[in-house]
Amino acid sequence: MDGDVFVSGTILIRDGKIIAVGEEVSVPSDADVIEAAGYILYPGFVASSGFFTSDEIKNFEAFTPDVSALDRFDFHGEYIRYLRGGVTSAFVTMPGNRIISGKGVVVKLGGQGKTSSVLKDDAALNINLGRDAVLPPMTDIFPAPVSVENPLIPSIKQFPSSSLGAFWLLNELFRPEPFSGDLSRYFQNVTNSLKKARDRGLPLIVRCQGATAMHQAVLFAQSVEMPLIIMGTIESPELIDIFKDNDIPVIIEADVRPNGFWVPEDSADIRERQSRMKNVSLFIQKGIRVALTVADEKYLPDLFWTAQYFQKFGISHEDIVKTITINPARIFGLDDRIGSLEEGKDADILFFKKKIGLPLPALKKVMSEGKIVYEEK
């Protein structure tokens, strides 16, 4: 997905890496051979979001920049349902009910007893501006050590209560002057963690909706001098030039079901959702790096189908597949390892075969780092 398309050819793999690919490749006489005639080969799909856990974090602090998704991800978990859908790598996020929910990581999913591995820790710092984040429950925050300046106080409601207020507070957390008064130690610890993230060059991945919040995210990232990734639904095509001019990638959560139907409250909701999805083609045509993901993790095994749905809006098949392969790999700075079938990259390969009567090819085999981890029986 990042170079020539070969009608036929050979991929040579050694120690889990692709060492040669092309129409004329010299194969050692002692090599093990997988006959792939009649198959369509893609690189492993890269999921741009996923919690991979059923437990939401409730009644917690609004700002936890030091928390890592590594602490929640089960490296020995069973992820075969995702592998069966072609998802070999994924960005693991934290639950979105905190404004700063912590650091996301990119993992390689295991299969058939193989444990998962980390492709990139500290892949991005997650900022959430959805309703659950800006209107969280009552939370106890106790200063330590307790003193006259930092007394014990009753439970307080986490703030702010709007996305604009959240951006104001986020800017305050990057302030150069030390905090004073109640909870000064708490806020100073948050500020110190954010400054460390900025010094390490971590990108901000901001989950938000609406033109105003997305524009504010751009201004905030510029003010704190941190790279920005936007995640959410795209309602406003007027943001295209802003994203293009500032080289901002976009992860679009496609609110599509595997059968193509929604359960909206009214017909206006259907028109609004269709309008959002038409904007995806506008972003791609403009040359913005777009990654597609699902709005609900339970549909992640249907990522390939979800992406193909956008052909109805005039997006080419090649551009669609890029949104779930090389584009997310580039967004997370991992295009030297995953996202395409090229020399030097991980041998994550999907074996599809066209079936009569089916609109899409069927996934028959999944290879991860040179090993078959799923095969249709």
pLDDT digits (tens, 9 = 90+) for 149-162: 666 655 555 566 67
What pLDDT score does 164 carry? 76
Tens of pLDDT, residues 73-119: 888 888 899 999 999 999 998 877 788 889 999 999 986 556 788 99
Q: Is the pLDDT of residue 57 over 70?
A: no
Share of the chain above pLDDT 70, in %: 81
Strand-pair category, 250-254 with 290-294: parallel
**What is the distance between the alpha carbons of residues 97 and 180, in angstroms, rounded to a whole number?**
27
What pLDDT score does 273 carry? 65
What pLDDT score does 160 carry? 65
Place of tokens 């207020």: 165
Average model confidence (pLDDT) for the chain?
Answer: 84
What pLDDT score does 261 carry? 47
Whole-model pTM: value is: 0.88
**What is the distance between the alpha carbons of residues 228 and 125, in angstroms, rounded to a whole number?**
10
**What is the distance between the alpha carbons of residues 204 and 207, in angstroms, rounded to a whole number?**
10
**What is the distance between the alpha carbons of residues 295 and 34, in angstroms, rounded to a whole number?**
36
17 phi and psi angles, rounded to 5 deg: -115, 150
Q: What is the 3-state secondary structure (H, E, C) of the chain?
A: CCCCCCCCCEEEEECCEEEEEECCCCCCCCCCCCCCCCCEEEECEEECCCCCCCCCCCCCCCECCCCEHHHCCCCCCCCHHHHCCCEEEEEECCCCCCCEEEEEEEEECCCCCCCCEEEEEEEEEEEECCHHHHCCCEECCCCCCCCCCCCCCCCEECCCCCHHHHHHHHHHHCCCCCCCCCCHHHHHHHHHHHHHHHHCCCCEEEECCCHHHHHHHHHHHHHHCCCEEEEECCCCHHHHHHHHHCCCCEEEEECCCCCCCCCCCCHHHHHHHHHHHHHHHHHHHCCCCEEEEECCHHHHHHHHHHHHHHHHHCCCHHHHHHCCCHHHHHHCCCCCCCCCCCCCCECCEEEEECCCCCCCCEEEEEEECCEEEEECC
Indicate the residue type of 376.
E
Cβ atoms of 243 and 230 closer than 8 Å = yes
What pLDDT score does 263 carry? 47
Summarize the confidence of residues 303-319 as an average pLDDT: 89
Minimum mean pLDDT range among 192-201, 309-318, 332-341: 309-318
